[in-house]
Amino acid sequence: MIPAEIRSVTETAPVDVLEAARRLGVQVFSAKLADKVSGVLLRDPSYGSQSGFVIFVDSDEPSYRQRFTAAHELGHFVLHRDAVGERNEDNYLLRSENMSNQQEVEANKFAAALLMPMDLIQKEMEQGNSTVSGLANTFGVSPTAMSIRLGLPT
C-alpha cells in the first residue's frame, strides 16, 4: 500500500509526512480553511508541484490532527487521484461529501499505515514503550488513532 519511494520515510518515528509528500511530488500547506474543512487535495498545476497536486490542512487544528489529515489526503493522492476531480475536501468528522465511504476507509488505512508502521510499533513495545499515550506521543498521532491501530476499543 505504501509506495516504494516513501518506504524509507516510514523507518523512523515520528514519520515525516511532509517528506513523504515531497518525495511523491505533492506540496503540503497549512492554512486557514473553510469551516468544518480539515483538509483538501487539490489538482492545480499553478502551484508548480511535481505531481500537479497540492494538499492544504487546517492550521487551526492540533498538529497531530494536521499530520493525520495530510497523510489521509496523501492516501487519496496515491490511491484515488484519477478519481479525484479538481478538488477533494475532507471534514475530520464527516469525511467526506464527494468521496465514497470505501475511498474514505482506504485513505484512513493508508494514513494509519504511513504514520504508524506496525514494525516500528513493535520495536517501541519491545523497548518498553507500550502504553497507548506513550506510543501516540512517539508517533505524533492522537491516542484514539493509536488505539484503532492497535485494535483496542476507543
* Contact footprint for Zn ion (CB under 5 A): 90, 95-96, 104, 107
DSSP state of 127: T
When the beta carbons of 71 and 120 are compared against Zn ion, the nearer one is: 71
Closest distance of CB 141 from Zn ion, Å: 17
Separation between Cα atoms, residue 121 and residue 127, nearest integer Å? 10
Separation between Cα atoms, residue 46 and residue 48, nearest integer Å? 5
Closest distance of CB 92 from Zn ion, Å: 10
**CB-nearest residue to Zn ion:** 90
Closest distance of CB 90 from Zn ion, Å: 4
Q: Are 86 and 42 spatial neighbours (Cβ–Cβ below 8 Å)?
A: yes
When the beta carbons of 13 and 99 are compared against Zn ion, the nearer one is: 99
In DSSP terms, which residues pair with 56 in a beta bridge?
Answer: 29, 40
When the beta carbons of 98 and 154 are compared against Zn ion, the nearer one is: 98
Longest dimension (CA), the chain: 48
